[in-house]
Structure 1
Amino acid sequence: MSDLSTVGGAVFEESFGDRVRALLRARPVADAADNAARQMWGGCEYDVVTLALAAIDAVIAKQGFDQEVTYDEAVAGLAVLAAAAHPERSIDEHGAVARYVVDALLNRKEREAPFSYQISIFGRDDDGSVRHRVGTAEFRLLTEHEDHRRGVNVLRASTDAINALVGGLEFDVEDEQAAIELMLARQLERGAFGQAEKAAERSLLLSIRYADELRTLLADTVRDIRTVLPQWVREVPEQLERNRTHLEERLAAESTLLGHLRRALDAPDTEPEVSKASARIAALLEKCRHRHTELHGKLVNARTIFLDEQARQSFRPVGGLRNPDIMDGLFLPLLVLRADVAVEPAETFAVLVSGGQVPRVVRVADLVDDLLAPRRAPSPEDPPVPDEELGDPDPPAIPPEVLGAAARLVDEVGLPARLSDLLLSARAADLPAEVEQVIVLAALWKYAPETAQDVSTAVDTAARVLGAAAAVDADGARITLPGWSGDDLIVAQDEESLSRWAAVADRDAS
């Protein structure tokens, strides 16, 4: 076996993979810088790495506030920096550079999918042999979200992007922030204002990440409480209490640090450089305190949001439409209403039957690219399927005269009625056996429409025989008619009639 003494043991530790993943966070920016040379403006040597970091910094600065950065705003800001770097170039080129950088951070080339890289994970067995497996490191840097209040798409930095900007591995935000504030206090005491300013910037970034974790939890709760219900049962109550204590400690520490800075600014013998540095540090701490105050308010209301969403999502009756009579039940009553009164029910019905709406994150530019893409050539190795293999032939349709006879029989007997009564009447009238079969099928399709292979045909057939609003149920009674077996179903003209039948049957049974 080869000597591994020169390799070291760190590569076999579990934390080694985390270090590799942290290192990979910078790879998309490095790849964008390398690919910039192949752009039309690549010969001008724009500093793509600096522009990318500036874009992430600009997004983080407003993340979580009311006016988060949009895609166009990020592009406009980077275009200003690109123009300052190469003022001799055209405005269109500056905009192209800015869009290239933002698109690279969003991974637009892969339709905004997460960046994905394969990594090697090494381990050692008990006998000293080395084993290897391939893992995947997936992360995002910038993501695009819809701001429903403003009606625009906004950019947000992921946790990985914030960690990359901070320059560290995964860490506990609370412990890290408490340590930074202690370090900041010591730096201010000994007058190391340059280092203190960096520590204040780091604390601000941690505050943004801390707020983003709570925002994600509350957003998931509002979206679908079932996805986070186990967290609320086991982890979240303790986490909220810990967060509240942490925020109170941070607000108190920030007030103390701000008071120290104000005394330094008010001192008559303070040097100009120290005053400027103190003012910048104070501004950063004010931003931290503002974010922590806002986050504390959201934290206080978190339990209320959970209870409200539980009541809204868990206890709300499930709506549905059971084969409505579109003509008599919806269309005709809607036509007799005034236009201003009819708008709301018409729009409500249209939204419910049309399903989900297209989110704003879909961009027209991507749609145009897809539409203009060249048509894919058919694969020569896939010959066309012969006509005889296209599938089984359609089953023969039920003759109209059989449907008419079944519908007339139901009208003569009258609903509600037992299925056995309808079948006995068909035999008494000496009708063909197909009529009995159609009546049974119509009742079954009304009772369990999912059992039909062609649901639309089954619904139409049942409506023609029993009526559009017919309702069918079972009460445990068994059919005793020769030739048939199973439940003796109750067939009624609508749900209300079925309920009255059940009420009378219960009263008679008692």
Structure 2
Amino acid sequence: MADAADNATRQSWGAYGYDVVTLALAAIDTVIARQGFDNEVTYDEVVAGLGALGANAHPDRPADEHSAVARYVVDALLNRREREAPYSYQISIFGRDTDGSVRHRLIPAEFRLLTEHEDHSRGINVLRASTDAINALVGGLEFDVEDEQAAVELMLARQLERGAFGQAEKAAERSRLLSVRYADELRTLLADTVRDIRTVLAQWAEHVPEQLERNRAHLEERLAAESRLLDHVRGALDAADAEPAVATAAARIAGLLEECRKRHTELHGRLVSARIIFLDEQTRQSFRPVGGLRNPDITDGVLVPLLMMPAADAVDPAETFAILLAGTRVPRMVRFADLVDDLLAPRREPTPEEPPAPEEELGDPDPPAVPPAVLAAAANVVDAIGLPARLSDLLLAVRVADLTDGVDRHAVERLIALAVLWNYAPETAQDVSTAVDTAARVLGQTAVVDADGTRITVPGWSGDDLIVADDEEALARWAATYSVAVRGDREAS
């Protein structure tokens, strides 16, 4: 924030002595106060709060200037001048070589203070404080949260016992910041688990179970300690001879401790369900079989049911279809700087397309596609027989069908067999798009194929006598009828 404070002197309001650093700390504190709850703070709310502080500091200045100062501070914390990229600075690392000389290295260090996120449940953008920002408020860079929090609560208890309520209020504020840091660590772990369990699988296998057990014991200690501290503070509030300043400080301490206890109670519940979340996500992401996907009947399976639905129920699927058809939606967090760069980019001159160079034919030419007459003859045979039917019935029908002059009967028979085999095992096709179109024109858009172990007896063919049906329901009805007929034959014999 040193650069932001220096640059503030060059703003239109820079001569009036606004304390940018203090306002920045107040902004971070405002974000942390609601971070992790359902009502996380928005950009406009932080600006409004800082504007009120600016008005208290300089009441003689106009309200527009107070808002401008507030926006400047929040934008500096977000680093919007650099399109919200992380701040970066060089740190010095000194080490001693084997010969006793001192070696110096410069290492770039990156950090963020505030970040902007989309709250999907509320449909708005919210601000969150980074770990670096929390550490800046707490006053340390690297520390163990559990040890630090236990130490702070011990210090708070001693301060309350000797009546140092001013110092105790600072310790309670420090404990609240540590609670936010502690909750963020668990939230990050569970969010990574739900997003992609593979990224944290090694952590779960090695030290996460032990960490969760340690966290649970730590939270139980903190909840018990906070209850004792609250009893002590409420005793000071209920004292008849309490001074007004002491009572006011005790009330603020009680509010901070209540917030810590609320956060720890919620965090304890998340800890209890953490293992269940891991097991559920492992089942969902690792063990669920890949579902099959068949081409739907757009008219009867999608459009007609949608038109028959009530208008209120049809809005969501219709809007989803329209969005997917029209393309992606505009992102909520639009960057004005990106738009300016696009508008200022030099216009690209259209270049005439050069004709492609002729390709030399190497080897044998590609085989010709299926002749339209053969394709039409195969479709007519299937329509004449009707589905469901066995592959043997379709092949025998080709041999007795009245085909157009010049149509190769063997080619029609082979085309029907290939279409049925592709529907049964589509992964064997090399040109998938051609296979899809050909099979759909011969057998229908929703045709399905199955096998029941019956062998084909048509001369010239071997293998399973596959069953071809219009759709899944027709195949199920055929299978049920066939099984009943087979059972009847067996009982009769």
TM range (shorter): 0.7 to 0.9
Residue in 1 aligned with 2:141?
Answer: 169
Equivalent residues in 2 for 1:48-447 (5 A)?
A: 48-115=20-87, 137-223=109-195, 228=200, 231-265=203-237, 273-303=245-275, 305=277, 321-335=293-307, 337=308, 339-340=310-311, 343=314, 346-347=317-318, 350=321, 362-363=332-333, 366=335, 370=339, 373-374=342-343, 376-377=345-346, 386-388=354-356, 400-412=372-384, 414-415=386-387, 431-432=407-408, 435=412, 439=416, 442-443=419-420, 446-447=423-424
Note closer, same or farther for the CA distance 1:175–1:379 as it changes in structure 2 (3 Å cut): same
TM-score relative to the length of structure 1: 0.72
**Cα shift readout 1:228-255 (whole Å, capped 9, x = no counterpart):** 5554554443333322221221122223
Q: Which stretch of structure 1 is more off in the superposition, 169-178 or 105-114?
A: 105-114
The structure 1 residue matched to 2:470, chosen from 493, 498, 502, is 493
Distance 2:463 2:100 in 1: 68
Distance 2:236 2:377 in 1: 99
Distance 1:191 1:107 in 2: 42
Letter matched to residue 74 of structure 2: V
Note closer, same or farther for the CA distance 1:168–1:237 as it changes in structure 2 (3 Å cut): same
Distance 1:279 1:191 in 2: 14
Residue in 2 aligned with 1:26?
Answer: none
- 8 Å CA contact retained: 2:32, 2:129: yes
Any idea what SS the aligned residue of 1:388 has? coil
Please tell me whether Structure 1 or Structure 2 has the larger radius of gyration of its CA atoms: 2
Note closer, same or farther for the CA distance 1:262–1:491 as it changes in structure 2 (3 Å cut): closer
Any idea what SS the aligned residue of 1:374 has? helix
Q: Which stretch of structure 1 is more off in the superposition, 405-414 or 443-452?
A: 443-452
Distance 1:345 1:199 in 2: 51
Letter matched to residue 471 of structure 1: V
Distance 1:145 1:205 in 2: 20
Distance 1:483 1:46 in 2: 94
1:467 aligns with 2:447: no
**Cα shift readout 1:351-378 (whole Å, capped 9, x = no counterpart):** 997799859x713x53796288316336
Distance 1:230 1:160 in 2: 26
TM superposition shift of 1:287: 2.7
TM superposition shift of 1:56: 0.7
Q: Which stretch of structure 1 is more off in the superposition, 244-253 or 54-63?
A: 244-253
TM superposition shift of 1:323: 0.5
Any idea what SS the aligned residue of 1:171 has? coil
TM superposition shift of 1:36: 3.9
Any idea what SS the aligned residue of 2:356 has? helix
Q: Which stretch of structure 1 is more off in the superposition, 474-483 or 230-239?
A: 474-483
Distance 1:38 1:479 in 2: 89
TM-score relative to the length of structure 2: 0.74
Any idea what SS the aligned residue of 2:136 has? helix
Q: Percent identity?
A: 70
**Cα shift readout 1:247-299 (whole Å, capped 9, x = no counterpart):** 22112222333333444455566555544444433333333233223333443
Letter matched to residue 195 of structure 1: Q
Note closer, same or farther for the CA distance 1:124–1:462 as it changes in structure 2 (3 Å cut): farther
TM superposition shift of 1:421: 7.4
TM superposition shift of 1:307: 5.7
Letter matched to residue 49 of structure 2: G
Note closer, same or farther for the CA distance 1:399–1:106 as it changes in structure 2 (3 Å cut): farther
Aligned-residue CA RMSD (Å):
4.9
Note closer, same or farther for the CA distance 1:291–1:329 as it changes in structure 2 (3 Å cut): closer
Distance 2:108 2:464 in 1: 56
Structure 2 portions without partners, runs of 5+: none
Q: Which stretch of structure 1 is more off in the superposition, 456-465 or 324-333?
A: 456-465
**Cα shift readout 1:45-81 (whole Å, capped 9, x = no counterpart):** 5433222221111011122233221121111112222
Any idea what SS the aligned residue of 1:283 has? helix
**Cα shift readout 1:284-334 (whole Å, capped 9, x = no counterpart):** 333323322333344344455556666776777766641011113332344
Distance 1:378 1:441 in 2: 53
Structure 1 portions without partners, runs of 5+: 1-28
Any idea what SS the aligned residue of 1:431 has? coil
TM superposition shift of 1:206: 0.4
Distance 2:239 2:419 in 1: 92
TM superposition shift of 1:167: 1.7
Distance 1:204 1:130 in 2: 41
- 8 Å CA contact retained: 2:447, 2:471: yes
- 8 Å CA contact retained: 2:193, 2:281: yes
- 8 Å CA contact retained: 2:306, 2:314: no
Q: Which stretch of structure 1 is more off in the superposition, 243-252 or 183-192?
A: 183-192
Letter matched to residue 343 of structure 1: A
Letter matched to residue 196 of structure 1: A
Distance 1:355 1:310 in 2: 35
Note closer, same or farther for the CA distance 1:155–1:319 as it changes in structure 2 (3 Å cut): farther
Any idea what SS the aligned residue of 2:343 has? coil
TM superposition shift of 1:171: 1.6
Any idea what SS the aligned residue of 1:145 has? strand
Note closer, same or farther for the CA distance 1:295–1:358 as it changes in structure 2 (3 Å cut): farther
- Count of paired positions: 475
Residue in 2 aligned with 1:4?
Answer: none
**Cα shift readout 1:134-174 (whole Å, capped 9, x = no counterpart):** 86544432223333444433222122211121121222111
Note closer, same or farther for the CA distance 1:123–1:383 as it changes in structure 2 (3 Å cut): farther
- 8 Å CA contact retained: 2:115, 2:127: yes
